[in-house]
Amino acid sequence: MSEIIDGKAFADQLSEKLTKEVAALKSELSLQPCIAVVLVGDDPASHVYVKNKVKRCEQLGIRSIEHRMEESTSQQDLLALIASLNENSDVHGILVQLPVPEHIDDKAVLAAIDPTKDVDGFHVQNMGALAVGEPGMVPCTPLGSLMLLKSVLPELSGKHAVIVGRSNIVGKPMALLLLQQHCTVTIVHSRTIDIEAHCRRADILVAAVGIPHFIKADWVKPGAVVIDVGINRIVEDGKSRLVGDVDFDAVRPKTSAITPVPGGVGPMTIACLMHNTIAAAKAQHQQS
């Protein structure tokens, strides 16, 4: 039997724990974790993501400050805002929603964020810390994916994990996290020869390519655990809906456990963002 991993229930449980932690920080230390969320431009998906993040903050008692900037905002103005948020000791976390408009260099933006406030874990200092096993902010989607994976497969040592996709946001940090867990890790990508053959050897298959239904049933080893990171909007029979990178209905019977879309990794990304924001607030409070 294949288990559908309920990411929403897991995220709700984690959020309940975090809500209590925020309440304790407020009453014991007069500390309210605070995140600044910066959104530049009109990307409709980004607006939905930011709205969901801000709503979750409210539910947990985390303060959120939204900065919405015009599509035409200059890189200089965005960097000036980040500099002021870096300086503001009331702000513990800074998140610039990606993608930023094309005329802005996203690498320069991420590099400008104080690494201790980088709740996305995208700064090279945090990515470097992850690579060498030092403490730092861990990117939210890979962290949430790992939590879901461990909920069905507590012992990962020696397992062969295949990650489909090599993005800085998911594929690469996921590979580093799984290496820390003593997995044998393969990353496949658009230039890989015979992706299917690699996937068929996976005990753990992580799909993060952003292509609807990319992973087919005959690519999956019987009994594998499949983590679907994709969130793709498709229109079928005139109706719009979200699907993952995995052909869920066909793949599910081959697996021992699989995450659905929606309701799998997505809710965990936001819960882990809350986790990182609280961790940042605590670390900054200790430093002050």
Single-letter amino acid code for the residue at 52: N
Interface residue with ligand GUN among 5, 140, 183, 258 (CB under 6 A) is 140
Enumerate the H helices of 154-264 as residue ranges. Answer: 171-180, 195-200, 248-251
Residues 263-282 that bind ligand GUN (CB under 6 A): 269
Q: Which is nearer to ligand GUN, 14 or 202 (CB)?
A: 14
| CB contact set of 18 (below 8 Å; sequence gap of 6+) | 60, 271, 274, 275, 278
Task: Give yes or no for residue 54 binding ligand GUN (CB under 6 A).
Answer: no
User: Least distance in Å: CB of 43 to ligand GUN?
Assistant: 9
Task: Kindly state the greatest CA–CA separation across the chain.
Answer: 57
- Segment interacting with ligand GUN (CB under 6 A) among 64-72, 95-103, 256-264, 276-284: 95-103
Residues 162-191 that bind ligand GUN (CB under 6 A): 169
**Catalytic option among 114, 117, 118, 120:** 120
In the bound state, the residue with its beta carbon closest to ligand GUN is 98
Is 120 among the residues known to form the active site? yes
Give the whole-angstrom CA distance, residue 82 versus residue 76.
10
Interface residue with ligand GUN among 21, 114, 118, 120 (CB under 6 A) is 120
Task: Give yes or no for residue 65 binding ligand GUN (CB under 6 A).
Answer: no
User: Least distance in Å: CB of 50 to ligand GUN?
Assistant: 9
Enumerate the H helices of the chain as residue ranges. Answer: 7-29, 44-60, 75-87, 106-112, 124-132, 140-152, 171-180, 195-200, 248-251, 265-287
Task: Give yes or no for residue 141 binding ligand GUN (CB under 6 A).
Answer: yes
Cβ proximity of 150 and 156 under 8 Å: yes
Is 75 among the residues known to form the active site? no
Single-letter amino acid code for the residue at 192: T
Task: Give yes or no for residue 111 binding ligand GUN (CB under 6 A).
Answer: no
Give the whole-angstrom CA distance, residue 130 versus residue 137.
8
Task: Give yes or no for residue 97 binding ligand GUN (CB under 6 A).
Answer: yes
Phi, psi values for residue 225, rounded to 5°: -100, 130
User: Least distance in Å: CB of 223 to ligand GUN?
Assistant: 30
Task: Give yes or no for residue 95 binding ligand GUN (CB under 6 A).
Answer: yes
Coil, strand or helix at 205: strand
Show which residues are catalytic: 53, 97, 120
Contact residues toward ligand GUN (CB under 6 A) are: 95-98, 120, 140-141, 169, 269
